[in-house]
Amino acid sequence: MPNSRSAKRALRKSDVRRLRNRSTRSELRNVIKNARLAIAGDDSQATVQALQKATKEIDQAASKGIIHKNAAARTKSRLAKSANQAAAK
């Protein structure tokens, strides 16, 4: 438990941030999962839309500091690579 007033305030702030980051991270995971499902499917238009949405969400999460910028770049790269491989088949 925090002892000083500033530590109590910091604890409250970290709780609020944790909950906000948790919901954003969960949404991010769902978007990435939907993009992977679209890539595995046959519809190329749905794949493009899902990839665009995932890219946008990943970039926003990286800009907010929810995920590291290199992790964001790696995830986007892997999604694009798998989409290109699926399109080539």
**Tell me: the pLDDT tens digits for 37-64?**
999 998 889 999 999 999 999 999 999 9
Closest to 57 measured CA to CA, from 44, 75, 70: 75
Mean pLDDT of 70-87: 96
Model's pTM, two decimal places?
0.84
pLDDT at 60 (0 to 100): 96
The CA-atom distances, in angstroms, between 67 and each of 3, 15, 17, 33, 34 are 31, 18, 14, 16, 19
Q: Return the SS3 of 67.
A: coil
